Amino acid sequence: MPDVELRAPLHLLLHVLVPVALARLCWPRDWKRAALWMLAAWVIDLDHLLADPVYAPGRCSIGFHPLHTWPAILVYAGLALPKKTRWFGIGLLIHIALDGIDCLLMQASHAT
C-alpha cells in the first residue's frame, strides 16, 4: 500500500486529473468550462481551515470536516441534478469520492 509520502501528492494530482479527464470524455465540446466548474468544487476543502491542524496526513476528511459530511454530500447530489449546477455538483461528488478512496487507502495501510 502506498505510504503517505506518495499518497498525498497522488491525491492532489487525482483532484485535478479526474475532473479534467471526465470533462474531456463526457463534454468534449465544452470540456474547458465543465472542467473549470468541477475544479471549482475544490473550494469545499476550505473547511479544513476550521480544523486544527489544518492538514493531517493520516486523517480521513469524510465525516470529519463539515463540508465532507453526509448532509453536505446529499446537497452535492442535489446540485448534480439541475443542468445549471450539474458540473459543480458532479465536481463536488468526485471530490468526495476521491477523498473517500484516500480514506480507504489510509485504513488499509493502518491495518497492515
Residues that bind Zn ion (CB under 5 A): 45, 61, 99
Query: Whose Cβ is closer to Zn ion: residue 45's or residue 72's?
Result: 45
User: Under a CB-based contact definition with an 8 Å cutoff, are residues 11 and 102 in contact?
Assistant: yes
Q: Give per-residue burial for 52-74: e unless 16+ CB within 10 Å, then b.
A: eeeeeeeebbbeebebbeeebbe
Minimum distance of Zn ion from residue 107's CB (angstroms): 17
Cell 463536488 locates to 92
Minimum distance of Zn ion from residue 2's CB (angstroms): 18
Minimum distance of Zn ion from residue 71's CB (angstroms): 16
Query: Whose Cβ is closer to Zn ion: residue 34's or residue 92's?
Result: 92
